[in-house]
A and B are shown apart, each in its own frame.
Chain A
Amino acid sequence: MTPVIFYKAKRINFKEKAFKKTLALSAIIAVVILVAIFFTLLIDSLPSLKAFGAKFFYQTTWDPVSDQYGALPFLVGTLLTSFLALVISTPFSIAVAIFLGEYYKKGPVAEVFKNIVELLAGIPSVIYGFWGLFVLVPLVRDLEMKLHVAPYGVGIFTSSIILAIMILPFSVSLSRQVISMVPSHLKEAAYSLGATRFEVIWKIIIPYTKSGLFAGLLLALGRALGETMAVTMLIGNTHDLPTGIFSPGNTMASVIANEFTEATGQIYTSALIEMGLFLFVVATIINIIGKQVIKRFTIE
């Protein structure tokens, strides 16, 4: 090789290696940060872990005055609001995804709806909280009075509705994309056998995109689990186990947001951090389970 070509090859080779190393470094930094967060939470919650042990996870009193901390009501509140929000939003998100992915893929109608749904994701959480407080709460209060339950207005039901609206765009954007990517030869084959449009959607598209739809729902659930501001304004913030769908409750994220800045005393702060760790672990477990289900559903 002449010297020029030799040096050029070496420079290209160096660039390739440097690029690959930079990418690897960025990936490693992301993992390091995640592991660091986990260890920080673990170390700072040691005093509380030592003081309460497993009782923390099934006791129901949260009393900062006598330093008794049990996180069960908040765990129940978190899971209840998140899953209820998912149940409420799923029919809507699948419907919108089919509407945008199958019926109106292109054209002005599609553009308008797509942008509006994505705009929902951009609205700050506090605004949802305000809207909920001034519009949704009086409506729910009227409903509760008709059903002869205590007319609080705030509670698990109200926060689930707001969460459902907030997580809609996350599942819709992913579901819409997988639905629009169903190969046309499958649909055409079904049509040619005499299937109606509904049958094509129900029997061809949905089973084909099951894993994608589920991934969208999982993304939405992850968002619901961690949502703090809107929930804390609408959930009623009581320390008791919720007794019904209309009762007030509390979630782990909401308690941490409310009580952390004024928490004095080592056990109190440590208990709040332990709850943060708990939330982290619960979110991770749900993610892992979700990924396993997606793997089962994926058609290769």
Chain B
Amino acid sequence: MNFKKIIASLLVVASAMMFVSCGGNGSSSSNGADSTSTANKNEILGAGATFPYPFYSKVFQVYNQETGVKVNYQSIGSGGGIKQLQNKTVDFGASDAPMSDEELAKSPAPIVHIPSCLGAVIVTYNLPGDPALKFTPDVLANIFLGKIAKWNDPAITSINPGVKLPDLAISVVHRSDGSGTTYIFSDYLSKVNADWNTKPGKGKSLDWPVGLGAKGNEGVSGLVKQTPGSIGYVELVYALQNKMPAASLKNKSGNFIDATLQSTSAAAAIDLPSDMRVSLTNTDAADGYPICSFTYLLVYKNQSYDNRTEASAKATINLINYVIHQGQKYAEPLGYAPLPDPAVKKAEEILKSVTYNGKALL
């Protein structure tokens, strides 16, 4: 009986191990045997960022009506989009933050970034009377570092003359989940404040020195609306739709800029690198809002990988071409900033460099 028990338990462990090993490392060591070629060439698969999802949704729907090509986009997050593209399970990925050098090095082949629109991160607050506030980069950083703890601190009142600020403690609200919004915001603070750059630095998830965390843009705005004396950061789209107060920020040129779609597009009016992997925060543009970012569509530079057909490659590239040209007119009504002309030109050049079997697709 004892012997039988030993055999039985060994069998259980062995089958469990088998379970584990065939599923365990699938995602990290996938050799791309999962085919990317779409089942029928009239459907394109994409996955990634949640921020531009309403914009993509609208553009893909119009594209379907005009060309009959169906686009299936899953907004699983920028991180997920990058992973799926690296695993070659989607035709294109989407990400708010450009891929880092390490992420590009880990990808099986070179990936290009094509910007599709712009987003901005605004600072919202809950004060009696909804006053219009101004912040300078250092004051903003010190609030989020916890160094400025009250609303009537001289640092804040000196840049907001004429505004009656109450003797109320500042409750900082930040994101609890990993997010591109946090990345853009912390990227800006790291550039303008040396203490922030040391710790917590920039990233999608941070070790925040102070404050409460809430899940998603909805969570942050909900908590800010409920908590008197709170301050938080959300995407511009969100603030526009929910009519939330937004502070105007002093940009690099010294001007206090309000977050609008125009000032967001204006932030991209700088020298753009040819691979478009650029951070627009703390922009040099004189009337650009300082916390903006492109959101990107990602494809492989060489589309002839695995058993990908030329038809699907062409379909994907034509779709992206549509997004950066005809699709741009759908951005503003939905609260996204359209690409300025120099950015569209650079994006076109990148698209033209995408090849299939050595031949340009566009």
A binds B: yes
Cβ-defined contact, A264 with B204, below 8 A: yes
In the complex, per-residue mask of B221-233: 1 if CB is within 8 Å of any chain A CB, else 0: 0110011000000
Complex: A238 Cα to B171 Cα, angstroms: 13
- Using a CB-CB cutoff of 8 Å, which residues 246-297 of chain A contact chain B? 248, 250, 254, 258-259, 261-266
Query: Does B148 make an interface contact (CB < 8 A)?
Result: no
Query: Given A65-B206, A248-B212: A264 and B16 within 8 A (CB)?
Result: no
Cβ-defined contact, A261 with B77, below 8 A: yes
Query: Does A88 make an interface contact (CB < 8 A)?
Result: no
Q: Which residues of B contact A43 (CB under 8 A)?
A: 20, 24
Name which of A29-37, A50-58, A181-189, A202-210 contacts chain B. Answer: A29-37
Q: Which residues of B contact A232 (CB under 8 A)?
A: 176, 215
Q: Which residues of B contact A239 (CB under 8 A)?
A: 207-208
Query: Does B169 make an interface contact (CB < 8 A)?
Result: yes
Cβ-defined contact, B207 with A65, below 8 A: yes
In the complex, per-residue mask of B18-32: 1 if CB is within 8 Å of any chain A CB, else 0: 011001100010000
- Using a CB-CB cutoff of 8 Å, which residues 172-199 of chain B contact chain A? 176-179, 199
Partner of B179, one of A133, A154, A262: A262
Min CB–CB distance A273 → chain B (angstroms):
11
Min CB–CB distance A52 → chain B (angstroms):
15
Q: Which residues of A contact B212 (CB under 8 A)?
A: 152, 154, 236-238, 248
Complex: A70 Cα to B108 Cα, angstroms: 32
Min CB–CB distance B198 → chain A (angstroms):
10
Query: Does A199 make an interface contact (CB < 8 A)?
Result: no
Q: Which residues of A contact B340 (CB under 8 A)?
A: none
Query: Does A118 make an interface contact (CB < 8 A)?
Result: no
Query: Does B245 make an interface contact (CB < 8 A)?
Result: no
Partner of B178, one of A141, A153, A263: A263
Query: Does A22 make an interface contact (CB < 8 A)?
Result: no
Query: Does B202 make an interface contact (CB < 8 A)?
Result: yes
Query: Given A28-B12, A154-B212, A238-B212: A36 and B219 within 8 A (CB)?
Result: no
Min CB–CB distance A128 → chain B (angstroms):
15
Complex: A109 Cα to B141 Cα, angstroms: 59
Name which of B78-86, B295-303, B331-339 contacts chain A. Answer: B78-86
Query: Does A13 make an interface contact (CB < 8 A)?
Result: no
Query: Does A177 make an interface contact (CB < 8 A)?
Result: no
Cβ-defined contact, B200 with A258, below 8 A: no
- Using a CB-CB cutoff of 8 Å, which residues 265-306 of chain B contact chain A? none
Min CB–CB distance A66 → chain B (angstroms):
7
Q: Which residues of A contact B199 (CB under 8 A)?
A: 63, 65-66
Query: Does B137 make an interface contact (CB < 8 A)?
Result: no
Min CB–CB distance A64 → chain B (angstroms):
4
Cβ-defined contact, B16 with A261, below 8 A: no
Complex: A73 Cα to B219 Cα, angstroms: 22
Q: How many residues of B contact A (CB 8 A)?
A: 45
Cβ-defined contact, B176 with A40, below 8 A: no
Cβ-defined contact, A264 with B176, below 8 A: no
Complex: A248 Cα to B230 Cα, angstroms: 15
Q: Which residues of B contact A64 (CB under 8 A)?
A: 178, 203-207
Cβ-defined contact, A65 with B219, below 8 A: no
Complex: A154 Cα to B79 Cα, angstroms: 29
Cβ-defined contact, A39 with B201, below 8 A: no
Cβ-defined contact, B12 with A35, below 8 A: yes
Partner of A31, one of B12, B102, B201: B12
Min CB–CB distance B83 → chain A (angstroms):
8
Query: Does B2 make an interface contact (CB < 8 A)?
Result: no
Min CB–CB distance B355 → chain A (angstroms):
28
Query: Does B17 make an interface contact (CB < 8 A)?
Result: yes
Cβ-defined contact, B226 with A262, below 8 A: no
Using CB atoms, name the residue of chain B closest to A232.
B215
Q: Which residues of B contact A62 (CB under 8 A)?
A: 207
Query: Does A44 make an interface contact (CB < 8 A)?
Result: yes
Cβ-defined contact, B24 with A44, below 8 A: yes
Cβ-defined contact, A152 with B171, below 8 A: yes
Cβ-defined contact, A258 with B177, below 8 A: yes
Min CB–CB distance A192 → chain B (angstroms):
50
Cβ-defined contact, A153 with B77, below 8 A: no
Cβ-defined contact, A35 with B79, below 8 A: no
Q: Which 8 A-B pairs give the minimum distances between C-beta atoms? A: A262-B178, A237-B213, A237-B176, A63-B207, A35-B16, A36-B19, A65-B201, A36-B16
Interface residues of A, Cβ cutoff 8 Å to B: 28, 31-33, 35-36, 38-40, 43-44, 61-66, 133, 137-138, 141, 150-154, 232-233, 236-239, 248, 250, 254, 258-259, 261-266
Interface residues of B, Cβ cutoff 8 Å to A: 8, 12-13, 15-17, 19-20, 23-24, 28, 76-80, 82, 102-103, 169, 171, 176-179, 199-208, 211-215, 219, 222-223, 226-227
Q: Give me 30 A-to-B residue pairs in the complex whose CB atoms sit less than 8 angstroms apart, sorted by A's number.
A: A33-B19, A36-B16, A38-B16, A40-B23, A40-B24, A43-B20, A62-B207, A64-B203, A64-B204, A64-B205, A64-B207, A133-B226, A138-B226, A152-B227, A153-B226, A233-B214, A233-B215, A237-B176, A237-B212, A237-B214, A238-B213, A239-B208, A259-B178, A261-B77, A261-B79, A261-B80, A261-B177, A262-B179, A262-B204, A264-B82
